[in-house]
């Protein structure tokens, strides 16, 4: 897998290069309205403007910061609740029997469908947004934690028993580390899902946030701001994912090597 990854990176960069070049060429002819595809220079200008003067009262970093703060708070609550609950559910089928129907029911629902209920219950300010992000992130983490535990070979657990470990020790010293690979898969998926839900969360009664900025700009047909926002969101998303991968590599040093 490692072999030729430098070459693959080059190919990926060429793809990006071609798309950007196409963007320049198409917009430079003037045959396409700025409304549909703004010029790269306009998007850049929108970016500089947003950084320096801000968009509707907040600078770009304030918007981004607000969104990331929402994301991180919801994500952290997710991690500290979904990981233990998921692992326990994998270990104990009764706990799983309690939680599974709830999760199986809401997981396939589009977040916007139950967002209305959440706003009804919790109001339109911050808490309903956090709750939406939390629910979006919970299911993937929970499900992959359960799968991670269920997948553990019986010999791992039997082996620990023959060495004298009790149930609690087996959970902490064997099951938890053995499931870590799957836990991280869940953590990555959850961050992605939460990130995509973020725009939906900022549709209702927000005054700041990168998702809100894009939605608001679209109302005034500010394509340059919309494009700029989408690109920023895309890059941030990639960076967040890379960050988790980096942590994963540090934590699970044995992954893919056994």
- Give the binding site for another protein (CB under 8 A): 153, 155-156, 158-166, 169, 173-174, 177-178, 180, 252-254, 257-258
- In this structure, are residues 91 and 237 in contact, taking their beta carbons and an 8 Å threshold? no
The distance from CA 1 to its chain's CA centroid, rounded to whole angstroms, is 25
**Least CB distance from residue 161 to another protein, whole Å?**
4
State the residue for tokens 């959850």. 190
Q: How far is the CB of 178 from another protein (least distance, A)?
A: 8
Nearer to another protein, 160 or 232 (CB): 160
Question: Phi/psi at 209 (nearest 5 deg)?
Answer: 125, 145
Q: What backbone torsions phi and psi does residue 55 show, to the nearest 5 degrees? A: -120, 120
Residue 118 or 179: the one with the smaller Cβ distance to another protein is 179
CB of 162 to another protein, least distance (A): 4
Shortest Cβ 184–another protein spacing (Å): 13
Please say which residue, 135 or 170, places its beta carbon nearer to another protein: 170
For 90, the token pair is 């994998």
CB atoms within 10 A of CB 38: 23
Nearer to another protein, 99 or 252 (CB): 252
Contact 236, 68 (CB under 8 A): yes
| Distance from chain centroid for Cα 240 | 8
Q: Record the tokens describing residue 149, joined without a space.
A: 């535990």
Report CA Rg, the chain. Answer: 22
Shortest CB 83 distance to another protein, Å: 17
Q: Report d(CA 209, CA 201) in Å as an integer.
A: 10
Size of the chain, expressed as the number of residues it contains = 258
The token duo for 236 is 């941030």
Q: Which is nearer to another protein, 52 or 166 (CB)?
A: 166
Q: In angstroms, what is the minimal distance from the CB of 175 to another protein?
A: 11
Closer residue to another protein in complex, CB, 3/253: 253
């Amino acid at each position: 897998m490692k072999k030729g990854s430098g070459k693959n990176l080059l190919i990926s960069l060429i793809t990006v290069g071609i798309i950007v070049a196409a963007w320049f060429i198409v917009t430079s002819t003037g045959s396409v309205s700025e409304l549909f595809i703004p010029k790269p220079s306009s998007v850049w200008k929108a970016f500089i403007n947003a950084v320096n003067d801000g968009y509707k009262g907040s600078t770009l970093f304030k918007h981004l910061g607000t969104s990331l703060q929402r994301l991180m708070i919801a994500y952290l609550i997710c991690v500290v609740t979904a990981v233990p609950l998921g692992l326990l559910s994998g270990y104990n089928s009764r706990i799983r029997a309690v939680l599974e129907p709830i999760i199986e029911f809401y997981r396939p629902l589009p977040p916007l469908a139950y967002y209305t209920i959440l706003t009804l219950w919790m109001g339109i300010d911050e808490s309903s947004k956090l709750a939406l992000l939390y629910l979006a992130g919970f299911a993937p983490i929970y499900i992959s934690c359960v799968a991670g535990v269920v997948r553990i070979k019986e010999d791992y657990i039997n082996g620990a028993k023959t060495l004298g470990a009790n149930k609690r020790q087996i959970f902490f010293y064997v099951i938890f580390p053995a499931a870590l690979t799957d836990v991280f898969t869940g953590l990555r998926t959850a961050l992605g899902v939460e990130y995509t839900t973020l725009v939906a969360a900022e549709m209702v009664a927000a005054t700041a946030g990168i998702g809100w900025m894009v939605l608001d700009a679209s109302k005034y047909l500010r394509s340059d701001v919309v494009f700029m926002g989408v690109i920023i969101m895309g890059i941030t998303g990639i960076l967040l994912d890379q960050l988790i991968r980096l942590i994963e590599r540090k934590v699970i040093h044995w992954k893919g090597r056994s």
